[in-house]
Amino acid sequence: MPIRPPIRIAQDRTPSGLTLAGIYGLDNISRAVLSSVVSINGLELFGSAYGMSISFFISSIVCIPIILSAGFLIRVFSRKILFSISCLVALMSVPLFLLNTTEGFILANIFRMSSAGIIMMCISLYTMDFISKNQLASAESRKIFMAGGAYVLFPGIGTWSYVNIGQEAPYLLSGVFIILLGLVFWFLRIKEAEQVRKPKETHLSIRKNLMIYFRNPHMRIAYLIALARSSAWVVFFIYGPVYLLNLGVDTEYIGFIMGAIISILFFSSYFARLATFLGIRQTIFYSFLLSGVCFTLVGILPPSNFFGILLLVIATLGIDMLDIIGNIPFMRMVTPKIRTEMTTVFSTWREFSLVLTPGISALILTIFSVSGVFSILGFVLISAAFLTKGMPVRVD
C-alpha cells in the first residue's frame, strides 16, 4: 500500500500561489546565503573586480545552451524529474566552491547558475499552469515577498559566517537549504497540468523557438523588461559588495547592509498597488525610471556612505516593483499551445543578464571604477523605461 504524506497541498495536488511562493522562497534562501559571499570570495581569488567579472562571464556563457535545452529535457524527463536533477546539480556546486580555486569557482558558478535558471523556469511554468490570470499579480507578489525575506536576512548570515566561522560555512548552509528544497518539492507531489502537453519534437529546435519568440515585438518587450531588471540585480549583487568595500565597510557586515537595503522590498507591494490605478504598463515605466535615475546618481556623485546607501535603497524599490509585475506581460501574452517552448526562451533572461552584465562591466572597468558600472546601468534602465512604451493595452 503506498504511503501518502499526512498533509496535502490540495485534494487534486494543485498548488496554490502560496505553495509556489514557499518553494520559490526556499530556492532563494539557498542562493541568498551566497549572494554577497560569492563576490567577496571571487574578489579574493582573482585579485580584482575585472578578473571576477570575467569569471562570471565565462560561467554564464556555458549556462545559456543548458537553459535553452530545457524544453528538450522536460520532454525526456518531465518537470518533476528536471526540478529534482537541478537541485542535485545545485548541491554539487558546494564542494566545488570549497576547493577555493579559480577553476572550481568558475565550475561551481556554472552549476549554481544553470540549476537556478531551470528551477525558476519550472516554477514559472507551474505558476502559469495553476494560477488564473487575475491572480497572477497576487501570486507574483507572494513569491517576491518570500524571496525578499530570504535576501534581507541570509546575505548577512553568509558574510558573517564567512568571516567568523570559516569560508566553508555559508556554502555548507546553502547546501542544507538546497536539500530541504528538494525534499519539500517531493513532499508536495505537484501534478503535471492536464492542459499543457509535453512539447512536440518539432518544437524542440532551439533556433526555431528563438525565431518564433523574437519575431513577436510584444514578446521582445517582455524579454527586455526581464533582462533589464535582472541586469540591475546582477550589478547590485556582484558589484554592490565591492562598492561597499571601497566605502570602507567591514567584510562581515556587508551582507547585513545589503540585506538592509533590500528590506525596502517589504514596502514594494504597497507601492506596486499603483498598478491598480496607473496600469501595469505605466507602473513598469516609472519603476524603470526611478531605478535608472538613482543608479546614475550613485555612479556620478562623490563616494558617500549615507547618500550612496540611500540611493541604492530607492533604486532597489523600483527593481522590486518590477520583480512583482515585470513577468506579467509575458504571462498574459503567451498562449498555452507553445507555453513550454516560449517559457524556455523567456527564462534565459537570467543567464543572458549574467553574460552581458559581467562582460560589459569588465570592459567598463578597464576605463572606470565600479561607480562607472552603476552609471552605465542607470542609463540602460532609463532607456528601457521608454522602450516599454510599446507594450499592448491587454497587458493592463
Which three three-digit cell numbers place residue 202? 518539432
Phi/psi region, residue 190 (left: phi>0; alpha: psi -120 to 50; beta: rest), is beta
Per-residue pLDDT of the chain (396 residues; tens, 9 = 90+): 344 443 344 445 677 767 888 898 999 999 999 999 999 999 999 998 899 999 999 998 888 888 778 777 877 777 888 999 999 999 999 999 999 999 999 999 999 988 988 898 888 888 877 777 667 767 777 887 888 889 889 999 999 999 999 999 999 999 999 999 999 988 887 766 554 455 555 455 677 888 888 888 888 888 999 999 999 999 999 999 999 988 888 889 999 999 988 887 777 667 667 777 778 888 889 999 999 999 999 988 887 778 888 999 899 888 888 887 888 888 777 777 777 778 778 877 877 887 888 889 989 998 888 889 999 999 999 999 998 887 777 666
Which three three-digit cell numbers place residue 91? 548541491
**pTM of the entire structure?**
0.79
Phi/psi region, residue 279 (left: phi>0; alpha: psi -120 to 50; beta: rest), is left
| CA–CA dist 42, 109 (Å, integer) | 11
| CA neighbor of 126 nearest in space, from 347, 349, 395, 350 | 347
Cβ pair 244, 236 in contact under 8 A:
no
| CA–CA dist 267, 119 (Å, integer) | 27
DSSP 182-232: HHHHHHHTPPPPTT-PPPPGGG--HHHHHHHHHHSHHHHHHHHHHHHHHHH
Give the chain's domains with CATH numbers: 17-193+204-395 (1.20.1250.20)
Q: What is the DSSP letter of 221?
A: H
52-55 contact pairs (CB < 8 A, 24+): 52/238, 52/358, 53/238, 53/358, 53/359, 53/361, 53/362, 53/365, 54/358, 54/362, 55/102, 55/105, 55/106, 55/109, 55/358
Secondary structure (3-state) at 8:
coil
Question: According to the model, what pLDDT value does residue 200 have?
Answer: 53
